[in-house]
Structure 1
Amino acid sequence: MMIRVAARLKGEVKADTLESFRRAGGIAYEELHHAEALRRRLAAEGAHPWRVEPGVSGQLLCAWNAFVLQAIGEHLLDADYAADPRTPGYVPPVTHTQVAACFDPVEHWTSLARQAACDDGFEFDASLRLPVDLPEWVETDPCPFPYLRGLQAATRTVRGYAEVALGELEAAVRDEDPAVRDDLRVLRRLAAKAATAADYAEGLLGDAPQDGPHEEIEQRLQRSLETYHHLGQLVAMPALISAYETGELDLAAVGEEGPAVSAFDPWFLTSPRDREHWKADPRARRAIEELWAGDPEPRIIRDIQRQIDAARRAGAVSHARGADGELLGGFHVCPWAAVYEVHREIDVHGRRLRPGQQFTVDVYLNRGTFVRKILVGTFTATTRVDYAKER
């Protein structure tokens, strides 16, 4: 009774269904064990990873995906339980939603791994784009501290397995094929990108109290997990590497445009549709001046907008429209940043954005810390207005 009362007061929900899926999903670790044994056998036989049967690489890839999803879900649950022993079996709604999204595909990938193991000619559905992404991250503000610890633990686990798998792949290749060398360079760059994000998050988190820069940590841990997830799939199926796209746009190739470094325009994030309206509002002028006065590194936000501008010129994003076809304009909070729709997968400020998503740039002060965030969601027209610079 006391546990239920404590959980209700904290706004937590029961995790009994998640625990059932955790138990069932334990078979993902069996498939990972089989995949590791397969990789060792291939190495002993001198098999070239780029030339194995489709069923072999398919088994390795599917087992990897099942493992990563199961590991993330379990670490999120365990971190929440450890943070508050008073409410075992209960978790915040954001944790419940994220864990469910991770556990749900585990059965599918485990089934595919087993199918591939008994079919040398195994093929994926032609509509499946590999490597696949992780499930959508649940948006939450503020992010619960135990949730960060769970992401941290999951990143450590996934990183360890990914780095071992990459090392084994490199050790298995002994030829001088230029294409193979190019592929390995792609994998090493991905590993470096994932490791840097993880290490930076570790440095920000450390043994910090619960009032640390949660959003910055969360974004880096998510980015690291996403990259390791892709890395493991590419290691399992090297044939995917040559066609792999990270989604990062080459700003130099499309031309860098944006606010001049010497003349900072406080309205550069603001939706072009509404910019003149806000410029004519004295309260809005004061709010935006106070907001940017709190930004210790304006270069960062300019770079974010340059990425978006480059993506627009490349046709990867456009200004978002509502269900009625009308432009949505800007987010309702100062600096009333434009809302965009994604047409081609890209990375903006370390956040992977997928076709069909809508996003905006959210900036504000949080207890003296300047926050820059890519906010993904479903945006609709509203009459709400928020002039606050601090949240």
Structure 2
Amino acid sequence: MSAVATSTPGIMTRLRAMATGEVSAATLEAYRGAGGAVYDLFVKAEHRRSELVAAGKTAWTMTDSEHSFLAATWIAYSFQTLGDAFLQADYDADPGTVGFVPPVTARQADLFYGAVEEWLAAALRAQGDENFVLPRRIPVPLPAWVEVEPCPAAHLAAMMAACRTIAEHATIAVADCARAATDDTHKAERAMLQGELASLTSSSDYAQSLYQSSHAPGSALHERMETTIKAAIEGAFRLGQLAAMPAAITEDRNRRQNRTSTGPIRALPLPGMPGFDLFCLTDPHAAPHFRKDMKAQKALGYLWSRDPAPEATLAIQQEIAAALARGDISYAKDHRSQQGRCYYCCPWGAIYHVDHEVEIDRNRLRPGQEFAFDVSAEPLAEGGPFKRQIAVGNFFSTGETDYCDENR
């Protein structure tokens, strides 16, 4: 039987949680308790779609508000389902600390739960306002997966459970979409939906089969299941949106094509060559400030003088520039000021937000993640290698400025 937190955790539960470093799940419990409204609305949306199809409407002839209602409800439902799955899977795996979860589980569940309110509000608005149109472009990506090695067994269980539910409802949505449009007007779009559905169903079934037959999987098999089931969840989430708003299929395809057709990015001059910019790795929003700082100029001079392969460093910077030009990434902004942010260490590179899945310097980056290009000569002082890496993580504001030079 599944464990459910129904009362305040007792002293023994608190002691066990403290011993294992777990944190209170009180906020997550509040989110889960509020989820009843999401599930009720999802049932209404499913019923409404059936009514519209029965009345002869297709996913292409519904009104903007009807599309918005179905799409927003689907998004809120998917987020709620994922958050609930992560919370419940941890309780099932460790009944002795119900009411508490590991910090990584809290972060992951909070990312999903935190996105519910916006879409629930949009769905309710669309339900009551026939002129309402979603202000955001469909399809929206899932929030980023919280990266942890190894992936906790409870997280894998949560993803398996959530995928079964989300994929099942995505299948129903695609079937309704195809059933309503019987002529050849939108044959290509229907074929795309059905093809993507077949692909994600195959991936989900394969991962579920591996999971059920592997009682103690090794790290390689565990990682394979994790990668496969994440892709299936992302595919089902996307497909449910497109089935609710199929006009976005063509727009989405065009955006993808535009992202792959960006022209070549101008090569950056190497140190010592004409046109070389000492601040070429610095966030362009912060560069004017640092150009006036003599200490920053000295620190960058030291950095470039110690770089054993500046062509490799600039090649990664050009990959970033190309991804920015394609629209795969954008400058991450401070939530309050809406200004760009930079990494606190020399060379003070920009912090980027991943908008579409992209690979930079052999790092696979997912929508919702943030990263910075971390370049440093500091490891050389301890006999280590010159550092040039894509640093992925949650970046917080700080008043510190690290010049990372030899006189530090």
Shorter-chain TM-score: which interval?
0.5 to 0.7
Matching residue of 1:377: 393
In the alignment, is residue 93 of structure 1 matched against residue 103 of structure 2?
yes
Q: Go from structure 1 to structure 2 and tell me whether the alpha carbon gap of 1:310 and 1:358 turns closer, same or farther (over 3 Å shift).
A: same
Match of 2:198 among 168, 180, 192: 192
Equivalences for residues 209-288 of structure 1 within 5 A: 209=216, 211-213=218-220, 214-245=222-253
AA matched with 1:376? V
Match of 1:346 among 347, 357, 362: 357
Q: Decide whether the 8 Å contact of 1:69 with 1:106 is kept in 2.
A: yes
Match of 1:146 among 142, 145, 154: 154
Structure 2: 5+ residue stretches without partners: 1-10, 264-302, 310-318, 331-340, 375-389, 396-400
Q: Go from structure 1 to structure 2 and tell me whether the alpha carbon gap of 1:311 and 1:93 turns closer, same or farther (over 3 Å shift).
A: same
Distance in 1 (alpha carbons) for counterparts of 2:193 and 2:254: 11
Matching residue of 2:124: 114
Q: Go from structure 1 to structure 2 and tell me whether the alpha carbon gap of 1:347 and 1:30 turns closer, same or farther (over 3 Å shift).
A: same
How far has the Cα of 1:211 moved from its partner? 4.3
How far has the Cα of 1:310 moved from its partner? 8.5
AA matched with 2:211? L
Matching residue of 2:144: 136
AA matched with 1:352? R
Matching residue of 2:273: none
How far has the Cα of 1:102 moved from its partner? 1.2
How far has the Cα of 1:222 moved from its partner? 2.3
AA matched with 1:346? E
Distance in 1 (alpha carbons) for counterparts of 2:193 and 2:15: 49
How far has the Cα of 1:139 moved from its partner? 2.1
AA matched with 1:345? H
Q: Decide whether the 8 Å contact of 1:76 with 1:147 is kept in 2.
A: yes
With normalisation by structure 1, the TM-score equals 0.68
Aligned residues: 322
Match of 1:61 among 68, 71, 91: 71
Which segment is superposed worse, 187-196 or 138-147? 187-196
Distance in 2 (alpha carbons) for counterparts of 1:220 and 1:88: 29
Q: Go from structure 1 to structure 2 and tell me whether the alpha carbon gap of 1:141 and 1:65 turns closer, same or farther (over 3 Å shift).
A: same
How far has the Cα of 1:4 moved from its partner? 1.3
Q: Secondary structure at the match of 1:113?
A: helix
Structure 1: 5+ residue stretches without partners: 256-272, 280-306, 330-338, 361-373, 384-391
Q: Secondary structure at the match of 2:149?
A: coil
How far has the Cα of 1:342 moved from its partner? 6.7
How far has the Cα of 1:105 moved from its partner? 2.5
Q: Secondary structure at the match of 2:392?
A: strand
AA matched with 1:236? A
CA deviation string 1:164-213 (max 9, x = no partner): 11111111111121xx1121233233323433442443354333326433
Matching residue of 1:49: 59
